[in-house]
Amino acid sequence: MADSIIVQSKVKEAIKGLELRTDSNVVDALNAKVHEMLKAAAARAKQNGRGTLRPYDL
């Protein structure tokens, strides 16, 4: 698993705000998804000849 780049307590707080409980694997799954999104966005930026990741790359 890649290093966590999300704040676990904030994720749990947001889910609680949706009136749900958090499964123990949700944070790891979300972290993996964010890493995948960032890799794909970086590839898109590079394909377009940019060295800056922009919101529309996501």
| Helices and strands (DSSP H and E) totals, the chain | 2, 0
How far the first Cα of the chain sits from its last, in Å, is 21
Residue 11 has pLDDT above 60, yes or no: yes
Residue 42 has pLDDT above 60, yes or no: yes
Average pLDDT, the chain: 95
Looking at residue 1, its pLDDT comes to: 56
